[in-house]
Homo-oligomer: A and B are copies of this chain.
Amino acid sequence: MKRDSRLSSVLHALLHMAEQDGPVTSETLAQCMNTNPVVVRRTMGLLREVGIVSSAKGHTGGWTIAADLGAVTLRQLHEALGEPAVFAIGNRNETPECLVEQAVNSVLDDAFAEAEALLLKRFETVTLADLAVDFARRHAEWRERRTIS
């Protein structure tokens, strides 16, 4: 199964944008993420719809973060992407007549719902600002290692 990596992608893009002063073009983001500008526009467009980023056409155009880094959670980003299916495992038939299959679905659905709830709760506690701090720490460590060697 091909995994949906859009959440990972937009986080990567947003943190790079946070490091920049002005707008960043789709072309630049695409290069730094080894992907295609059109894919960037498509995905970032979803974030624009909920006001997390803004875009401008023409010269000096590109993408800009339009919200406070501390106010944007992973959960909001997940929702902005259309709340894609979290699990790669699922029921064969969501509305079976067979009572055996109903019993199976019920147990599996409960377990998956519990795990998804935990994941989304955790997503609520992480903001872009948190990630920026984490990146800054890694960057400082990296500089230190480079100085020593």
Contacts and interface: CB of A to CB of B under 8 A. Distances in A.
Interface of A: 1-5, 7-9, 11-12, 15-16, 19, 32-34, 74, 84-93, 98-108, 111-112, 114-116, 118-119, 122-123, 126, 130-131, 134-135, 138-139, 142
Top 4 closest pairs, chain A to chain B, by CB: A3-B90, A115-B119, A5-B92, A88-B88
Nearest to A141: B99
A26 B102 CA distance: 21
23 contacts: A1-B85, A4-B89, A5-B91, A8-B91, A8-B101, A8-B108, A9-B92, A11-B104, A12-B100, A19-B100, A33-B92, A34-B92, A74-B107, A85-B88, A85-B89, A88-B88, A99-B142, A100-B135, A103-B135, A106-B134, A107-B126, A107-B134, A111-B126
